Every structure is written in structure tokens, then in C-alpha cells.
Structure 1
């Protein structure tokens, strides 16, 4: 057993080094810099809690938080919801599961930047796909990235990008449910939507918790879609773009690091709240 533990440690060591280098060290470095006023070069000055005082009086940060929460709402309803519906539909068919797995998962292998550039062309006012379709139907062109509609337009590729990932997670969870459960439910006359509501969903509740946590925390990292489509202007400023502007455009690394700490803390709080709201005795099989 002692020899086995040694090998386990050796296998875990590379992952531990990677996590320390690319996750824990940057976070603690950001936490350290949040107590300084610095441009990232040689002008570091200790300012105590000044950055945090500024944080809680920053109206732009509040607006960015609200915009992030709005996108989070779209993600929970449409991204996770659509993934669950697609998984239920595909799980109910006998043939073609591999085809649908591939088709629905495909967007996740494309980079967010590439998808953003694709939607830049789709939303283009002069020759975009959407306005071309509207003109062919006899309607006037629309400004898809206007101040009133930009955030919703940004949310569409954000939602579409990860639907396939959560679809695979749900479908994998459903494939582990014993067929005996469904056969017994069929004998009791539980079919269709009732089977989904009273059998499938309760049995994959733990997986739903995981997906919701991933979706919520993933929304806090949204950057590429917003930046490429709108540069985070007006009504599309989110936490990721605001942190980027403060740290790398305004060269205020101290305040940018403070925003980074805020994003991490906000994500942890949301994860805890999500788990508490979904706290329920899970069904095992």
C-alpha cells in the first residue's frame, strides 16, 4: 500500500504543479497586488484597503455586475435548459445518438474568438446574414448591436457555444440510469413528460447541480464574445472586460487585481448559494 501511495503522489504531482502555477499563484498574486497602486512596473505603492473602498463605490463595476448577472440568467435558462431538453430527446431515441452527440458537441471545439468573428458577420448591418434574411422577407434592416439589444446579441453566441458541452454531461448521466427503472415506470403508466419530471431529473439531480455551478462560474469568465463584438461598450460591459480595461488599458494593475479578487469571491458565493438552493437528498441507484 505504501508503494501504491508513492505512485499515486507521482501521478498527482504534475496536476498539482499546473494548478499551483496557473491557478493558485496568480490568484494569491492578484490578492497581494490588490493592496497596492501599481502599473505593473516599478512604481508599486502600498495603499491598504483603498482599492477595496473604491471597489464598493464604483458605479461602473456595479453596472458590469448587473450585465454579467443578466447573461448568467440567459445561460441558466437557455444554455442549461436547452442542453437538458436535447439530452432528454436524444436519450429517448434508439439510433443516431452518436451523430447527435457529434453535431451538438461540435461548437465547443471552435474557439470563442472564431465564433465571435462569425457573429460579427452575422450581425453586420450592411451585408450580415440576419439583415439579408430580413430584406428577403420584405422587412427593414435591424441594428443588432445597438445599445438596447447588444447584450442580448452577445448572449446568443455565449449560450450556443457551451450547449453541447452540458448536453454531453446530461446525456452521460442519463445513460447511467438503469433501464429497469424506466421499465417499472412504464408498467405504472409513467411515460412522456411525467417520466422526465418524476424519474429522470431526480436521478440526475447531482449532475444538474454540477452543470449549474459550471454555467454560473463560467459566465463570470465571459470575455471574448463581449470584447470582439462590442469592446465592452455601453450596455455590454461585463466583469471580465472591465477588469481587462482597468489592468491592461488603464495600466492600473492594483485596481484590476482587486476586481479579479472580487470576481473570484463573487463566483464562490454564487456557487454556495446554488448548492444551498438545490440542497436535497439525492437518489442513488
Structure 2
């Protein structure tokens, strides 16, 4: 009985933190999504489903959803694929192991805002690095960020920044694989490619599932880098759910509508994570 008391005692701070900064704000946001709340007034009036009805008919929401899923597809293919490939290659490298692990992780240590500013300068028209390179080779300046390219250009730095993060997760998972398995495979004449496909990847399946869930949830939280590079433009072409929610709240001062967008983001994030886990997790057999 005493051990349980200490157990609850140590859990209490975490419980208070979760209730204060997660559960309570979530329920307040749900409440605000059913209200008409303009200019952050201290008073809100009940508006029923009007915010959600507006959300369904809002063309920018459709653009935001499309952009979010485009970014999710690119991030999934690049971050998961490249980080897994790098982890497999580095796990077989005895020399420079620590150096490579540090180099790949460096982008995580840089602020997303700083990275966004760097890529904004790279894409710039007047003094951007890309146009400077084009001019060196006799080309003409290009407007890189436009309605057709903006979402793809803002996805590039997002994909690049988090490769090192998932690389370290995969590398940690691979370090748990017993060395005897690899040695036995080599004695049987299996190639490195076959070992990666038939041994390494199946044995870190749980790690892969966790990474995929992190990628999906992370895509709904991307904001600062897109906001710095394009601000959701031009003409809302790179708008994400997160940036559009910010615009609704702090540009249009419509807290009720912004809350509705936030709830939709949370709902879709949880739904996609649950579906992904259901599909990818290995079935238990008894």
C-alpha cells in the first residue's frame, strides 16, 4: 500500500501538468469552436455549428488539407526512407560512426525559424542563392515561390531538418538487434541487402511504426518554417491547417473559427495515427 502511495505521489506533478496544459485547453478550445468569438472579447456568444458549417464551405480549408497531405507524403517518403537507409548504412560502418551520427543530427539543433529564414533567402528573387547560381551559368532570374511551387519548396527544408532525428531513432532500434543474428546470416552467405530486407527491417518494425506515427502527427504541427518562408502565400497556395488557424486567430481575430480549425486538426491527426497504427502494427497470434 505504501508503494502505491509513492507511485501516485510521483505521478501527481505529471498529472497536474497534463490537466493544466493539455486537457483543460483542449476542452476550452472545443467550447470556443461552438461560439462566436471576435477580437478576443471577454464574452463569447453560442453559435452552434456555424463555425463548422463555414469550415466545410471554406475553399482555403480544402487547399490547406491538400497541402498538408502533399507535405505528409513528401515527408513520409523522404524522412522515413532516407533516414532508414542512412541508419542501415551507418550501422554497418565501424569507422566514423559517431561523426556521421552527429552530422546527421545537427539540423535538429537549428531553430526551424532560422532554417526557414535561410531558405527564404535561398529562394529570394533579387539576391537569392538559386538565382545567383542560375546567373553564374548564364540563366535568368526566376520567381521560385509561386502558386504552383510554393508548397513543394516549403516542404524541402521540412524534409531535410528531421531526417537526422528519425535516423537516430532507427539507429537506436538497430543497436538492439543481437549481433549473433547478423553473424549467423553472414555464415549462411546472405548479402547485406538481403540482411537489411529480411532481418533488420522486420526486427525494427515497432520502431518504424512509431516513426511513421511521429511523422504524421508532426505534419499537423508544422507552422514556423512555412510561416517564415511564405506566410501561407502566395494567394494561400502554401497554406497549411496550422498557418490558416493562425491567420484566422491573429489576423482576422476570429477565435471561434480558429478553434474549429484546431479541433479538426486534432481529430484528423488522431484518426490518421490510429489508422496507421492499425495497419502497420503486426497482428498478435495466440
Query: What TM-score do the two structures reach when normalised by structure 1?
Result: 0.94
Aligned match of 1:228: 228
Alpha-carbon separation, structure 2, partners of 1:4 and 1:12: 12
Aligned match of 1:255: 257
Moved more, 25-34 or 10-19: 10-19
Kept in 1, the 8 Å contact 2:209–2:281? The answer is no
Aligned match of 1:92: 92
Aligned match of 1:27: 26
Aligned match of 1:154: 154
Aligned match of 2:64: 64
Alpha-carbon separation, structure 1, partners of 2:85 and 2:64: 30
Moved more, 13-22 or 80-89: 13-22
Aligned match of 1:9: 8
Kept in 1, the 8 Å contact 2:112–2:224? The answer is yes
Alpha-carbon separation, structure 2, partners of 1:116 and 1:196: 35
Task: For residue 244 of structure 1, report the CA deviation from its aligned partner.
Answer: 0.6
Alpha-carbon separation, structure 2, partners of 1:106 and 1:15: 30
Task: For residue 217 of structure 1, report the CA deviation from its aligned partner.
Answer: 0.8
Task: For residue 100 of structure 1, report the CA deviation from its aligned partner.
Answer: 1.3
Moved more, 181-190 or 134-143: 134-143
| CA distance 1:144–1:282, shift in 2 (3 Å) | farther
Q: How does 1:188-199 map to 2 (within 5 A)?
A: 188-199=188-199
Task: For residue 247 of structure 1, report the CA deviation from its aligned partner.
Answer: 1.4
Residues 113-164 of structure 1, C-alpha deviation per residue, up to 9 Å, x if partnerless?
Answer: 1111111111122222222222223333332212221111100111111111
Task: For residue 204 of structure 1, report the CA deviation from its aligned partner.
Answer: 0.4
Alpha-carbon separation, structure 2, partners of 1:217 and 1:164: 17
Task: For residue 4 of structure 1, report the CA deviation from its aligned partner.
Answer: 2.7
Residues 18-38 of structure 1, C-alpha deviation per residue, up to 9 Å, x if partnerless?
Answer: 222222221111001111001
Structure 1 alignment gaps of length 5 or more: none
Kept in 2, the 8 Å contact 1:202–1:282? The answer is no
Task: For residue 74 of structure 1, report the CA deviation from its aligned partner.
Answer: 0.5
| CA distance 1:228–1:282, shift in 2 (3 Å) | farther
Moved more, 117-126 or 8-17: 8-17
Aligned match of 2:145: 145
Structure 2 alignment gaps of length 5 or more: none
Residues 191-229 of structure 1, C-alpha deviation per residue, up to 9 Å, x if partnerless?
Answer: 221111111110001110000000011001111111111
The DSSP-based 3-state class of the residue aligned with 1:56 is helix
Q: How does 1:1-285 map to 2 (within 5 A)?
A: 2-39=1-38, 40-233=40-233, 234=235, 235-281=237-283
Moved more, 9-18 or 36-45: 9-18
Kept in 1, the 8 Å contact 2:79–2:159? The answer is yes
Residues 46-67 of structure 1, C-alpha deviation per residue, up to 9 Å, x if partnerless?
Answer: 0112212222222211110111
Kept in 1, the 8 Å contact 2:108–2:161? The answer is yes
Query: Where in structure 1 do 4 or more consecutive aligned residues deviate above 3 Å?
Result: none
Task: For residue 279 of structure 1, report the CA deviation from its aligned partner.
Answer: 3.2
Moved more, 37-46 or 239-248: 37-46
Moved more, 52-61 or 98-107: 52-61
Task: For residue 277 of structure 1, report the CA deviation from its aligned partner.
Answer: 2.1
